[in-house]
Amino acid sequence: MLQSFLVTLREGLEAALIVGIILAYLTKTGNRQWARSIWGGALAGVVVSLVAGWGIVSLVGGLSKNAERIFEGVATLLASGVLTWMIIWMHRNAANLAGELRSQVDTAIEKGSALAMAALAFVAIAREGLETVLFLYAISQNASWIDTLLGALLGLSLAVLAGVLLNRGVRVLNLSTFFKGTGILLIFFAGGLLAYGVHELQD
């Protein structure tokens, strides 16, 4: 439950911050009319993530026992690698993230394309969502689905609340400390996923 809580809290907060940065920049530059495209893209990203989660569960349910173990092992190893890469990427690019997003927004505005604007939010939300789906599937192999789901719902709820408060200017936490702290914990979780994935493939 703790693993799914931390993963969804961090991933959810990253997604909320990205959307918040884009919306704040649109408001600041007098381009708030594009906000509907951003929300549309974000919603599409959520839908894609949910469909991916449903697809994984359906796929695994139809596999033989040995094929299921192979799938679980590969998926868990993949989750471990992606989780580690995500932490390193965030550490290296966090300082430049806002500037890159604003540059992409400027490009979309220049094109006058609602689709290009929606794509900014879609890519960000879908990326975070697909990562979360992969992580939750891997985590659920070492915990019950109920515990995993409860932790995920709690983490996402808290992430949405924190994201709303932060984007309204309420300082609810130190983001630098939060991402560093959760990054250290998630590295240990990634190590656990690696060990489990190897164990499944050995079986």
Instruction: With CA atoms as reference, report the closest residue to 114 among 19, 7, 169, 39.
Output: 39
Nearest-angstrom CA–CA distance, 151 and 144: 11
pLDDT value, residue 43: 93
**Residue 187: pLDDT over 70:** yes
Residue-by-residue DSSP string for 57-123: HHHHHTS-HHHHHHHHHHHHHHHHHHHHHHHHHHHHHHHHHHHHHHHHHHHHHHHT-HHHHHHHHHH
pLDDT value, residue 172: 62
Higher pLDDT, 22 or 194: 22
Instruction: Please state the rounded mean pLDDT for residues 13-37.
Output: 86
Binned at pLDDT 50, 70 and 90, residue 171 comes out as: low
pLDDT value, residue 95: 67
Higher pLDDT, 61 or 148: 148
**Residue 44: pLDDT over 90:** yes
Higher pLDDT, 45 or 138: 45
pLDDT value, residue 175: 65
CB burial of residue 110 (10 Å; 0-12, 13-18, 19+): exposed
Share of the chain above pLDDT 70, in %: 92
pLDDT tens for each residue of 77-111: 888 888 788 777 777 766 677 788 888 888 888 88
Binned at pLDDT 50, 70 and 90, residue 40 comes out as: very high
67 neighbors 74 (Cβ within 8 angstroms): no
**Residue 63: pLDDT over 90:** no
Instruction: Please state the rounded mean pLDDT for residues 160-176.
Output: 72
